[in-house]
A and B are shown apart, each in its own frame.
Chain A
Amino acid sequence: DSGVTQTPKHLITATGQRVTLRCSPRSGDLSVYWYQQSLDQGLQFLIQYYNGEERAKGNILERFSAQQFPDLHSELNLSSLELGDSALYFCASSVGAGEANEQFFGPGTRLTVL
């Protein structure tokens, strides 16, 4: 158990809908990262937050947004969902500073868009 929690575990929804994925980082970690894992693309970095502020952006679609709250939990919002958004979404957390900064991953949310 990495100490990172994600809810829900599974989400089934329809095209055009909006969903929110939630992540709680390990105790003491200030950085949260979101990744998308699909069969064809593998694990892709989406976005990073550090202590409430956006720190880095990857290949995140404009239909997707995220935020980190004062209690350090984070939410990833996916809107106008398309079939191709079906994937595993992982949250990772780290201390967020210093050179080492290992990232620890949560169990993921499996999103199915029908």
Chain B
Amino acid sequence: QKEVEQDPGPLSVPEGAIVSLNCTYSNSAFQYFMWYRQYSRKGPELLMYTYSSGNKEDGRFTAQVDKSSKYISLFIRDSQPSDSATYLCAMRRGGSNYKLTFGKGTLLTVNP
């Protein structure tokens, strides 16, 4: 079993839709959870960064972490064509262990 599982999609939605992206993980030592957005042929761009369980909101983006279920989500409200990209979840242990473990990414297309 991989440490981090992410449905690769592809996911196609109409403009304005609410998008839900998810990852599950098996390592209970993970403490920090991130979502990166990667446009084609570009480097991953940090979108959201959360510590432990709970919600975090930033504009149209909301990240949720449920450590009891080992499940994290990213919600995108009022999705735009410019949101079309691959979304990668990433996580790491606490302390000075900064190695990130990534999901394989979900390819999202928002259709105008």
Given B36, B45, B97, B102, which contacts A56 in the complex, CB threshold below 8 Å? B97
Q: Which size bracket describes the interface of A in this complex? A: 20 to 34
Within B79-110, the residues touching A (CB, 8 Å) are 88, 90, 94-105
Report chain B residues within 8 Å CB of A58. Answer: 99
CA distance A91 to B32 in the complex (A): 20
Given A43, A96, A106, A108, which contacts B98 in the complex, CB threshold below 8 Å? A96
For B, the interface residue count at a CB cutoff of 8 angstroms equals 25
Report chain B residues within 8 Å CB of A53. Answer: none
Report chain A residues within 8 Å CB of B96. Answer: 55, 97
Report chain B residues within 8 Å CB of A35. Answer: 100
Contact: A90 with B99, CB < 8 Å? no
Within B14-60, the residues touching A (CB, 8 Å) are 32, 34, 36, 41-46, 49, 51
Shortest Cβ distance from B44 into A: residue: A105
Q: Which one of B34, B36, B88, B98 has the highest number of Cβ atoms from chain A below 10 Å of its Cβ?
A: B98
Contact: A42 with B49, CB < 8 Å? no
Known: A43-B105, A90-B43, A99-B95. 15 other contacts (CB 8 A): A4-B43, A35-B100, A43-B100, A45-B99, A55-B98, A56-B97, A56-B99, A99-B51, A102-B46, A102-B49, A103-B46, A103-B100, A104-B46, A105-B46, A107-B42
Smallest CB-CB A-B distances: 6 pairs: A42-B104, A105-B43, A43-B102, A105-B44, A107-B43, A45-B99
Residue positions of B touching A, CB distance < 8 A: 32, 34, 36, 41-46, 49, 51, 88, 90, 94-105
**17 interchain pairs, CB-CB under 8 A:** A31-B98, A33-B98, A43-B90, A43-B100, A43-B102, A48-B99, A55-B98, A56-B97, A90-B43, A97-B96, A99-B51, A102-B34, A103-B100, A105-B36, A105-B44, A107-B42, A108-B43
